[in-house]
Amino acid sequence: MASLGGAGQVVRLNYDGQVIGSVQLPVSQPSCQAFAGPTQEQLYITTAQEGLNTEQPSAGSLYIVETGIAGLAEPTLRLEWTTYRPALNNKAGLRRTVEGILFRMRTGIPWRDLPEHFGKWNSIYKAFNHWSKKGIWKKLFSGLTTDSNLELVFIDGRDVKAHHHSAGAAAGHDEHIGKSRAGNTSKVHLAINAKGLSHVFTITGGHINDCTEAPALIKKIEGAQILIADKGYDSQTIRAEAEALGMSVIIPRKKNSIKGNKGLDWQLYKLRHLVENAFARLKHCRAVAIRYDKLARNYESIVSLACAFLWLPM
Non-local (6+) Cβ contacts of 151 within 8 A are 194, 225, 226
Fold of domain 141-311 = Nucleotidyltransferase; domain 5 (3.30.420)
Q: State the pTM of this model.
A: 0.71
Enumerate the H helices of the chain as residue ranges.
94-107, 121-133, 136-144, 210-219, 236-244, 266-269, 273-282, 286-289, 296-311
Those residues whose C-beta lies under 8 Å from the C-beta of residue 28, and which sit 6 or more positions away, are: 7, 8, 48, 51, 56, 59
CA dist 240 and 218 (Å) reads 11
C-alpha–C-alpha distance, residues 250 and 266, integer Å:
8
**Beta carbons within 8 Å of 143's beta carbon, 6+ residues apart:** none
Task: Check residue 55 and give its pLDDT.
Answer: 47
Strand 248-250 with 226-228, pairing:
parallel
Query: Which residue positions in the chain have pLDDT lower than 50?
Result: 30-33, 37-38, 49-59, 70-88
As to burial, measured by CB atoms within 10 angstroms (0-12 exposed, 13-18 middle, 19+ buried), residue 82 is exposed
pLDDT computed for residue 81 by the predictor: 37
Chain region(s) in the chain for CATH 3.30.420.10? 141-311
User: What does the radius of gyration of the chain's CA atoms come to, in whole angstroms?
Assistant: 24
- Write out the E strands in 133-211: 152-162, 178-180, 183-192, 198-205
Residue 168 CB burial class (10 angstroms; 0-12, 13-18, ≥19): exposed
Beta strands 42-46 and 62-66, pairing class: antiparallel
3-state secondary structure of 268: helix
Sign of the C-alpha dihedral computed for residues 9, 12, 15 and 19 taken in this order: negative
- Under 8 Å between Cβ of 165 and 294: yes
Sheet holding 19-24, edge to edge: 2-6, 9-13, 19-24
> In this predicted structure, what is the pLDDT of residue 72?
42
pLDDT of residue 121: 95
- Mean pLDDT taken over the chain: 80
pLDDT reported for residue 50: 44
